[in-house]
Structure 1
Amino acid sequence: MQSTTMTTVVLPIALAIIMLGLGMSLTVADFKRVAKVPKAAFIALACQILVLPAIALLLVLMFDLKPELAVGVMLLAASPGGTTANIFSHLAGGDVALNVSLTAINSVLAVVTLPIVVNLAITGFLDADTSIGLQADKMLQVFAIVLVPVVIGMVVNRRAPSLTARLRKPVKIASIVFLALATGLAIFQERDNVGGYLKSVGTLTLLLAVLSLTIGYWIPRLARVTRKQAIASSFEIGIHNSVLAITIALSPALLNSTEMAIPAAVYGVVMFFPASALAYWISRRREPAEVVAP
């Protein structure tokens, strides 16, 4: 199978299945739940939308990356959390319900925030006219690959909950397989340069993962958010939907750049190490008594 078929057909279908699986785990109540914990949700979303791109930009400037790789890092930082964050949050004893709600809200906001961040990065690093999102046709494509499958999944969940229950596990397994597929595809297309890319973005993406997880936990804690909510925030901010970033980077209709997909592909591998370490560390700690402002 040629890479063009992979990037134009297989990869978008894979992402659609992942987002469909996300939608099948959501209900309208997940969006309403945010209103019950506005402080925790607001802090997490602010970290995701404002703080994280700033951290990514600082790392890009520190590592003096090639322009295409720099845009790829910003694309990754602007991507919302994925279902993997919910799994790690569950293992660490976090507020998974908050995770689900944050993922839902983040996926909606990303239709606007992700193109803005990437367009600014392209203007700053490439000084090119290539962009996504600020043009109506590309905004519709991002909307289609992010939100349409989620909405379909929510409808299926509401109309046929028994079917959803049966499909949930297979879809999760498929999501992991497609994550590996997308990562492998991006690395394969740049196989001649993979050693240099690992050297240039491996440390950066590992630092981004560590800083994202750390910021996602401690900023809410300093704001006196409960520990379980801070755990949820940490994994939501620290674990990104790398398949979405890879798909947008590789899609001929959007960025059409293998180099821009490399940071997300490398991150898709290295992020499991700090995320697993954090989940283990948190799960082994004895939970202190919560002191929350009334």
Structure 2
Amino acid sequence: MTVAEIISNIFLPISLAIIMLGMGMTLILSDFTRILRNPKSILIGLTNQLLVLPIIGFSLAIAFDLNPIMAVGLMILSTCPGGATSNLITQVCRGNIALSVTLTAISSIICVFTIPFILTFALDYFGTDTGVAIKLPIVNTIIQIMGITIIPISIGMFIRRLNPNFARRMEKPMRTASTVIFIVVFIAVLAANYNILGTAMIEVGVPTLLLNILTMGLGYLTARLFKLNLKNAISITVESGIQNGTLAIVIATTILNNFEMSIPTAAYAIWMFITGGILMWLFGNRPEMESEAV
């Protein structure tokens, strides 16, 4: 196992789980029940993630006349849900963490069923039908969500319930730790994709950059158009543009058995960490406003 693999397969999941525990210490049960009672923000976020993102990816593949392999690779990325990294970025940006976690969990489960449908269409449309049945592991996906996200957050919420003062004291250190983990993840992505970054940027650098900017921009605009507050708008923006690159690579290399199809994910990973970092810089130090609490 290489150093990059050790970082991505062992260190990062453990680190992200610790960060999720810290996020849990900033949350109470009413944060989630409030979202469920008024699900407009969830519906907007899921629409962006599950419908708008694949449409934009498909449109860019056609507009840039990508070769079939790169086009399908872009579609693989466009069908993937957000991941724990989106929750991390949302925390540093002072977005609605409960909304971010809820969108990640729901979209991850729904995507298990939508990805095979969309990718079967993409493989047929772009002329690269491999005849492979696309089946994603439902149980493994749920276990991953539980292990890295839901269980640590639940433990953090339990700690806050037992010791609110400790939870409040840990808020700033955990936000700092989130920033450090974000940087480590970015370095790991660079290391893991070092050999194909040049090719990725040449072949699909511009389309993947546009995919990231357009999805984030539309996420923010639709949230504000439907009069969501800034915290919710930040969460939807991040969830719209930060994809589960690990899942995309697994689909390309393991399920479809085509390493080249993972090239768009390598390019996109760089862009999403750059734009995510910009969002963290823009929103991370802003003061909390009472009007954003709802």
Q: What is the TM-score normalised by the length of structure 1?
A: 0.73
8 Å Cα contact 1:111/1:146 also seen in 2: no
Determine helix, strand or coil for the equivalent of 2:121.
helix
Question: 1:124 Cα shift?
Answer: 2.1
Alpha-carbon distance in structure 2 between the residues aligned to 1:172 and 1:195:
27
Matching residue within 225, 228, 246 for 1:222: 225
Structure-2 change in CA distance of 1:16 and 1:130 (3 Å): farther
Could you report, residue by residue, the CA deviation over 1:56-94 in whole angstroms, capped at 9, with x for unpaired residues? 110111111122221221111222112332333334332
Alpha-carbon distance in structure 1 between the residues aligned to 2:247 and 2:16:
9
Q: What pairs up with 1:224-239 in 2 under 5 angstroms?
A: 224-239=227-242
Identity of aligned residues (%): 32
Aligned position for 1:128: 130
Structure-2 change in CA distance of 1:19 and 1:61 (3 Å): farther
Determine helix, strand or coil for the equivalent of 2:134.
coil
Aligned position for 2:166: none
Residue 255 of structure 1 aligns with an amino acid whose one-letter code is L
Residue 133 of structure 1 aligns with an amino acid whose one-letter code is K
Q: What pairs up with 1:148-163 in 2 under 5 angstroms?
A: 153=152
Residue 121 of structure 1 aligns with an amino acid whose one-letter code is A
Aligned position for 1:272: 273
Determine helix, strand or coil for the equivalent of 1:84.
helix
Alpha-carbon distance in structure 1 between the residues aligned to 2:89 and 2:277:
7
Q: What pairs up with 1:1-294 in 2 under 5 angstroms?
A: 1=1, 17=14, 29=29, 32-125=33-126, 126-133=128-135, 153=152, 177=184, 180-181=187-188, 183-188=190-195, 190=196, 194-250=197-253, 252=254, 254-281=255-282
Structure-2 change in CA distance of 1:178 and 1:287 (3 Å): closer
8 Å Cα contact 2:92/2:179 also seen in 1: no
CA RMSD of aligned residues (A): 4.1
Question: 1:204 Cα shift?
Answer: 1.1
Determine helix, strand or coil for the equivalent of 2:248.
helix
8 Å Cα contact 2:200/2:266 also seen in 1: no
8 Å Cα contact 1:21/1:150 also seen in 2: no
8 Å Cα contact 1:78/1:114 also seen in 2: yes
Which ranges in structure 1 are unaligned for 5 or more consecutive residues?
none
Alpha-carbon distance in structure 2 between the residues aligned to 1:186 and 1:273:
15
Question: 1:127 Cα shift?
Answer: 2.3
Q: How many residues align?
A: 277
8 Å Cα contact 2:57/2:211 also seen in 1: yes
Which ranges in structure 2 are unaligned for 5 or more consecutive residues?
164-169
8 Å Cα contact 1:72/1:260 also seen in 2: yes
Determine helix, strand or coil for the equivalent of 2:206.
helix
Structure-2 change in CA distance of 1:226 and 1:174 (3 Å): closer
Question: 1:23 Cα shift?
Answer: 6.9
Alpha-carbon distance in structure 1 between the residues aligned to 2:155 and 2:290:
40
Q: What is the TM-score normalised by the length of structure 2?
A: 0.73
Alpha-carbon distance in structure 2 between the residues aligned to 1:209 and 1:60:
14
Could you report, residue by residue, the CA deviation over 1:104-125 in whole angstroms, capped at 9, with x for unpaired residues? 2222222222333223222222
